[in-house]
Amino acid sequence: MISSKSNREIELMRQAGKIVALAHQEVAKYIVAGVTTKKLDQIVEKVIRDHDATPSFKGYGGFPASICASINDTLVHGIPDDTVLKSGDIISIDIGACYKGYHGDSAWTYAVGEVSQEAVHLMEVTKESLFVGLAKAKPGSRLGDISNAIGEYVFSFGYSVPLEYAGHGIGSSLHEEPSIPNFGQAGRGVVLKEGMTLAIEPMVHRGKPFTRVLADDWTVKTKDGSLAAHYEHTIVITAQGYEILTTL
């Protein structure tokens, strides 16, 4: 049973979401050749703490940082370190903030300087697939309608999605039921109701869907080394459709 959130809970998630959006806005200014991913992590952590929130990811399952910083063929869960960004890289930054016990979660892929046409296209398709999926988010729709819309859009460009990573419910826990895959059958799954809060997050590979996890037990890369992109918003289902919570 997936419960709807109260208005009070949704308001706290709106605050958490704003803090995540502010952190993205701030970190975006620093995404240039020469910066380390550790520096980006510090910038985000400061924004989150300056707004009386805590980084949702830090310590989650032992994750050591406030952001996931995933470069080029890293799909998700890259650990910030002394890696220096260079022009032509793409980097997916995933940010979570917890405000008064409620979470916001949003990822975005950024270009570092001039990037290839292939990278630009992958980013555009992945970002668009998020909104194609969101267009299905309304009371009475089924979860599979969102999953199917994302998958069909992505596959129409010959791209793929990883099978084992998905969006999720969110609230007082970072990850709640249900799991929201980026592919699936329309008309199947949970019926959406007003007040449900979900993190929709297409992850897209230019190549095949297979992944591998590095020895650090976190970093997930595409197995074939192809580029990957990742866009995510936390939303609440409203009477009319949906509201994005991870926005300013």
| Residues in touch with Mg ion (CB under 5 A) | 94, 105, 107, 199, 232
- What is the nearest approach in angstroms of Mg ion to the Cβ of residue 158? 25
Taking the C-alpha atoms of residue 141 and residue 190, their distance in angstroms, rounded to an integer, is: 8
CB of 126 to Mg ion, least distance (A): 14
Characterize 223-237 residue by residue with b for buried, 16 or more Cβ atoms within 10 angstroms of its Cβ, and e for exposed: eeebbbbbbbbbbbb
Q: How far is the CB of 195 from Mg ion (least distance, A)?
A: 19
Closer residue to Mg ion, CB minimum distance, 122 or 199: 199
Structure tokens at 243: 């509201």
**Residue 132, token pair as written in the block:** 């194609």
Nearer to Mg ion, 142 or 168 (CB): 168
Using the minimum distance from each CB to Mg ion, give the nearer residue, 195 or 202. 202
d(CA 190, CA 55): 29
d(CA 240, CA 242): 7
Question: Which of 136, 233 has the CB closer to Mg ion?
Answer: 233
Min separation Cβ 197 and Mg ion, Å: 12
Least Å distance between CB 1 and Mg ion?
Answer: 21
Q: In which element (H, E) is residue 172 found?
A: none
CA distances from 129 to 53, 64, 112 (A): 30, 30, 22
Report residue 213 CA to chain centroid gap: 18
Q: Are 152 and 213 in contact (CB under 8 A)?
A: no
From residue 216, alpha-carbon distances to 74, 219, 245 in Å are 13, 7, 32
185 contact partners, CB below 8 Å, separation of at least 6: 144, 147, 148
Nearest approach in angstroms of CB 188 to Mg ion is 21
* Contact between 30 and 46 (Cβ < 8 Å): no
Cβ proximity to Mg ion: between 92 and 148 the closer is: 92
Shortest spacing between CB 116 and Mg ion, in angstroms = 25
> What is the C-alpha separation between 63 and 78, in angstroms, rounded?
10
Beta carbon nearer to Mg ion, 145 or 232: 232
Choice between 20 and 31, CB closer to Mg ion: 20
